[in-house]
Amino acid sequence: MSALLDEIPSLDLADFTSGSPELKNKFVQNLGAAFTNIGFVAIKNHGLTEELRTDLYETVKQFFYQEDELKKKYELENVSGQRGYIGKGKETAKGHSRPDLKEFYHVGQPEPREDMFDNIFPEELPDFQKLTLETYQIFEQTGKTLLRAIALFLNLDEDYFEEKVFKGDSILRALHYFPIENPDALPPDAVRAAAHGDINLITLLMGASAEGLEVLRMDGKWIAVTALPDQIIINVGDMLDRLTNHHLKSTIHRVVNPSREKMKFSRFSIPFFMHPRPEMDLTCLDSCVSAENPKVYVDMTAGEFLDERLRELGLKK
């Protein structure tokens, strides 16, 4: 069993892209070690500037501080929560009965495939479209670079994931954990984000506006996750876990409620969920299946798995 970590490892993506074979291989092995152990890593030199991050958060806050009636203009029917605004009480973590204490906004591919939903943007905030799409494109490129490193760790061709994520179903999610004026009135099991695993291949998360993210270690202990100002957090999603037969770990995580006093203030977070195209086969890689590690997942495509999970989350009927 791998050594238990008290914090998630920190890596420099510039080591992978520097041109040095030694640094590149070291990054690949360290990334793989983190993903087989705790499933999370902090990355610097990820391509997102502090100016863009600051501007994006400011615009996202302006949107969520609007009246609910205005926000609901951008809550679309028949898109299964995949574009636009998703209101309070709409998403419930798998295995839980009470919705998370959050609302969010989804932005998808800037140039969608014919079978995709189109994006919708709040007309009251002209910078919202520009900033979210710019962030989307940066994170998509960073995600592709990380997937190249993951492919090498798995002894696959470096470009194994490239065609699988080309115009994939990735989503940028602007999250608002809204203020609770009377926290004492909340049911005891009402939390900002209940324990869950992400659906996708990998998640890229820029630093949140407040603490609260926790990861469940292999021994059952919850550890807090924070990023330095120049870092983003990367974690394995369920699709990559399935593909590797749980060799790379999609680790359960949550966003806990802060103190009662702090519950009266908003928390903002912006993850990028990197999805492949729906036709990608998630059948476990042969190299990840053995007598000692038998196959644990049924075969399905990424589209079939996404459909299943959206229904479990209550976003699709």
- 3-class DSSP state of 1: coil
> How many domains is the chain partitioned into structurally?
1
**Within a domain: 98:** yes
* Two structure tokens written together for 120: 């919708």
pLDDT value, residue 1: 46
pTM: 0.95
Task: Name residue 146's amino acid.
Answer: L
d(CA 95, CA 241): 19
pLDDT value, residue 5: 78
The alpha-carbon radius of gyration of the chain (Å, integer) is 19
**Within a domain: 129:** yes
**Within a domain: 7:** no
Residue 250's domain is classified under what CATH number?
2.60.120.330
**Within a domain: 137:** yes
pLDDT in tens, 231-284: 999 999 999 999 999 999 999 999 988 888 888 999 999 999 999 999 999 999
Helix, strand, coil fractions of the chain, as percent rounded to 5: 30, 20, 50
**Within a domain: 4:** no
Task: Name residue 44's amino acid.
Answer: K
pLDDT value, residue 2: 63
pLDDT value, residue 309: 87
* Two structure tokens written together for 30: 């360290």
**Within a domain: 5:** no
d(CA 34, CA 12): 13
**Within a domain: 272:** yes
- Domain span at residue 183 reads 15-313
pLDDT value, residue 240: 98
**Under 8 Å between Cβ of 147 and 141:** no
pLDDT in tens, 52-84: 999 999 999 999 999 999 999 999 988 988 999
pLDDT value, residue 6: 80
d(CA 206, CA 169): 19
pLDDT value, residue 187: 84
Strand order of the sheet with strand 267-274?
10-12, 40-44, 231-236, 202-206, 267-274, 171-177, 103-107, 84-86
**Within a domain: 180:** yes
pLDDT value, residue 282: 97
Phi and psi dihedrals of 123, rounded to 5?
A: -70, -20
Residues of the chain with pLDDT under 50: 1
Centroid of chain to Cα 94 = 15
